[in-house]
């Protein structure tokens, strides 16, 4: 019996982040460092080569680390923004998917975690906050998300 419980616990811990299933999964991943993400994304997740973007005036550097789920159409992107001019760092976790049921589930779970709607720049761009972190949801390709494919959305989590 103990072996069965141990085997079950090991199986569940290995597949903890085999896919994002709700807001809690996304919040847990957003708390991890970029070095802890590969250790915690198991199963069908593949790491892509990180890349860096620099503004023309070299005041801002953005490093992006992406992880793609091969079975589910999901992408986790960790974005680290460094401002050389103002000496600050911003970490943001972006979650891309086309699962509209999951999007509705995440939106319905926001109040459970203390998130309140702060702003809505347009019907496709919503901003939520709870004092500890902020969440943006963009569900249409726009200037804020020019690479967003048709039918996809992005949920961004920024920790304060």
Residue 25 CA to residue 97 CA, distance in Å, equals: 14
- Residue 79: predicted pLDDT: 93
17-31, 71-85, 97-111 — which one is most confidently predicted on average?
97-111
The answer to whether 70 and 44 have CB atoms below 8 angstroms apart is yes
Instruction: Supply the pTM of this predicted model.
Output: 0.83
What percentage of the chain exceeds 70 in pLDDT? 89
- Looking at residue 18, its pLDDT comes to 63
Q: What is the pLDDT of residue 11?
A: 39
* Both structure tokens of 117: 């709607």
CA-CA distance, 40 to 13, in Å (whole number)?
9
In this prediction, residue 12 carries a pLDDT of 41
Cβ-in-10-Å burial (0-12, 13-18, 19+) of 40 comes to: middle
Burial of 140 (0-12, 13-18, 19+ CB in 10 A): middle
Segments making up each domain of the chain, as ranges: 2-159
Tell me: pLDDT of 65 over 90. Answer: yes
């Amino acid at each position: 019996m103990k072996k069965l419980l141990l085997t079950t616990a090991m199986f569940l811990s290995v597949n903890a982040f085999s896919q994002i299933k709700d807001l809690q999964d996304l919040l847990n991943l957003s708390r991890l460092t970029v070095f802890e993400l590969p250790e915690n994304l198991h199963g069908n997740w593949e790491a892509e080569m990180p890349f860096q973007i620099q503004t023309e005036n070299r005041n801002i550097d953005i490093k992006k680390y992406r992880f793609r789920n091969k079975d589910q159409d999901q992408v986790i992107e960790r974005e680290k923004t460094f401002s050389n001019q103002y000496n600050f760092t911003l970490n943001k976790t972006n979650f891309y998917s086309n699962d509209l049921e999951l999007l509705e589930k995440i939106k319905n779970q926001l109040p459970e975690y203390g998130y309140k709607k702060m702003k809505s720049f347009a019907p496709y761009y919503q901003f939520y906050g709870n004092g500890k972190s902020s969440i943006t949801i963009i569900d249409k390709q726009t200037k804020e998300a020019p690479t967003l494919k048709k039918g996809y959305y992005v949920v961004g989590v920024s920790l304060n």
